[in-house]
Amino acid sequence: MTHPATLTALTAGAILIAATANAASYRLACPSAETSTTCMTASHFADQVREKSGGEIDIQVFPAGQLGSGEKAIQQMRAGVLDLVVESLSNYGNFNSDFNVVSWGFAFRDDAHFEAFLASDLASAMEDKLYDESGIRMLADNWAKLPRVVVSTKPIETPDDLSGLKFRVPAIPSYIATWQNLGTNPTQVPWADSFQALKTGLTDAMEAPYDSVLSQKFHLAAPYVTLTNHVYDSMSVSMNGARWSKLDEADQQILLDAATDAAAYSRELVDKAAQTVASELEADGATIIEIDRSAFAGKLAPATKEQEEKGLWAPGLYDAIQTLE
């Protein structure tokens, strides 16, 4: 005779197995390592969706760029090859040019200013256009990420300290224009060769994610780490618009709620990671420098207008962002 408690457990297990078997399954591409703050947040998001849906929505996270990353992953998601992607907000500039303003140097005063932008009608309108014209539904635009900093062979405390430096930048037009207008000589060096370039003097400085300075040991070749946070960016989670439109309102809300919950989780992870990076850099002998960011933003002001006139983003968008409190 089967004990009632055993029967209950077996029944619950059978229901769970049946729910899993019948679950709607979606693939999510994450560009970073499985243990990164970004992919840990993506996994938390997937867990929350599974829990809130009673196992009826199953999101499988593929970390480390297994399914692609950057613009390529977004294109695949747009085409329906992928269901969801987690990517930097600035990577949507090729799908709606207004997102280019996110990658323009010193566009935001501080965390509060950037968060005000993400919560504004300006950002909502950009995301609505992304959905209407590119079939991409953004579920959240405010997952935290570690800042970008400058690592250099000499201290950088003011814009004048950048003058004439051989500065490694990625091949992104807004990045190149930013550092060129700040007085550096932008230099193209493959990421894999960046440490050697600093070590041999081929370059004097470079910009990079804060955690990459530590993991790539750039500080051992260039011991000054300046907390420029020159690009306020965030991680976003987006879904193929056709997949999104097939979900009923209840399931759509589950995804939105889980994405919102994951944003708070990402902030906790990033804050802890930033503290760890700082302590380990200093233990290795690096000097961490804080700056007056407004001085750098002021020097870029004329170039900002030039970029807008070139059509990098919509006329008036940058000024509208500056009025946000």
Is residue 279 a part of any domain in this protein? no
- Identify the domain containing residue 154 by its residue range: 148-226+286-318
Do 31 and 140 have their domain in common? Answer: yes
- Residue 155 sits in a domain whose CATH number is 3.40.190.170
Strands (E), 35-144: 57-62, 84-88, 136-143
- Angle, helices 121-134 vs 111-118, to 10°: value is 50
Do 50 and 90 have their domain in common? Answer: yes
Do 90 and 129 have their domain in common? Answer: yes
Is residue 166 a part of any domain in this protein? yes
For the segment 77-121, what is each residue's pLDDT rounded down to a tens digit?
A: 999 999 999 999 999 999 999 999 999 999 999 999 999 999 999
The number of domains in the chain is: 2
For the segment 128-140, what is each residue's pLDDT rounded down to a tens digit?
A: 999 999 999 999 9
Is residue 18 a part of any domain in this protein? yes
CA dihedral 114, 130, 28, 116 (to 10 degrees): 10
For the segment 35-79, what is each residue's pLDDT rounded down to a tens digit?
A: 999 999 999 999 999 999 999 999 999 999 999 999 999 999 999
User: For 183, which DSSP code?
Assistant: T
Is residue 222 a part of any domain in this protein? yes
β-bridge pairing 224-226 and 205-209? unpaired
